[in-house]
Amino acid sequence: MTIAWYLAVSALIFAIGVGGVLVRRNPLVVLLCLELMLNAANLALIGFSRMWGNDDGQIFALIVMVVAACEVTVGLGVIVAMHRHRLPIDVDSMRELQG
């Protein structure tokens, strides 16, 4: 199988992720879609790693996973804080800051 197929799948996942961020209003789902985008990059990295036959891409992918976990943790933390302050859990209602 050529690298093109890996890339196509990865690009598709990335696009799904972007689409999700663009259309979903629930911040939890938005976070999931961000995960999708990062994992699309991981897929591409691992595919390239296999293509070039070196480990750099795999190591990179591992690190991306760690970072993705951190991001989601922070995101969840903020969402919890918003919930505690009885703010609506909806990205479209976050419009105090604008202009």
| Contact residues: another protein, CB under 8 A | 3, 7, 14, 17-18, 21-23, 25, 27, 30-31, 34, 37-38, 40-41, 44-45, 47-48, 51-52, 54, 56-57, 59-60, 63-64, 67, 70-71, 74-75, 77-79, 81-82, 85, 87, 91-92, 94-99
Minimum Å gap between C-beta 67 and another protein is: 4
Residues in the chain: 99
Report which of 38, 7, 39, 27 is spatially closest to residue 79, judged by C-alpha positions: 27
Q: What is the DSSP letter of 90?
A: -
Least distance in Å: CB of 8 to another protein? 13
Spatial separation of the C-alpha atoms in residues 91 and 46, rounded to whole Å? 33
In 3D space, the residue among 71, 57, 63, 59 whose CA is nearest the CA of residue 27 turns out to be 71
Closer residue to another protein, CB minimum distance, 9 or 60: 60
C-alpha to C-alpha distance for 54 and 46, rounded to whole angstroms: 10
Q: Smallest distance, Å, CB 61 to another protein?
A: 9
